[in-house]
Amino acid sequence: MTRSHRSILSRLDDAVRWTGIPARVADPLVDGKHQPLRWVPLLLIALSCLQLVVCFIWPQEMERLSLATLVALMPAMVLGIGTGVVVVYMSGPLGKPSREDDEREAALRKDSLLFCLGLLAALNGLGQPILLIMSQWQNWQTGHGAMVVISALILNATLLGTLPTLYASWSFRRLPKE
């Protein structure tokens, strides 16, 4: 297939390979060089939590935010959600093995997703009533409420995209050399 006739998905595959991550993942895990992916997801979760906390700490400033600021934040939200969707579904839809998964990897992917979805359900089940109570108690203005909602959405998307990786990283045990 010539380069001009390649599909978008094929080009995206090339872009992913260009990052070097697939080759790194394919490396043997016994050489000591391979580091479980842990800090990047933790950093993203920390930033998303910080964004939500800022909405609580400086509500007055949040209320002054204009619609333009909210619109400016939308790409970040779309990026977060998009990343989560791509990571979770394109790489193995809800526990079904991707082309290169074997049965252990498929089981790990399924466990990771179940852990992620369970934790998200618990967090949202607890968090939403708390946010509702706080909004009534502190008499949030529309702008403040919108910022909190958007921040919570971004946090949800971040958790959806990163928790499976974190779970897999925590369950990873380095293999001894043969």
Partner 1 sequence: MSRRQLAEAVGVNHQTIGYLERGDYKPSLELALKIARHFGVAVEMVFSLDRFPMTFGRKGEGG
DSSP per position, 58-123: -HHHHHT--HHHHHHHHHHHHHHHHHHHIIIIITSGGG---TT--HHHHHHHHHHHHHHHHHHHHH
Q: Contact, 156 vs 120, CB < 8 A? A: yes
Binding site for partner 1 (CB under 8 A): 28-30, 102-105, 173, 175-176, 178
**Closest to partner 1 by CB, 33 or 103:** 103
Rounded to whole angstroms, the Cα distance separating 34 from 27 reads: 8
Q: How far is the CB of 25 from partner 1 (least distance, A)?
A: 10
| Of 140, 139, 137, residue with least CA distance to 149 | 140
Judged by beta carbon, residue 29 or residue 46, the one nearer partner 1 is 29
Q: Tell me whether residue 63 or residue 105 sits nearer to partner 1 (CB atom).
A: 105
Residue closer to partner 1, measured from CB, 92 or 161: 92
SS3 54: helix
Q: Which amino acid is at 137?
A: W
Please state the closest distance from residue 110 (CB atom) to partner 1, in A: 13
Minimum CB–partner distance for residue 112 and partner 1 (Å): 15
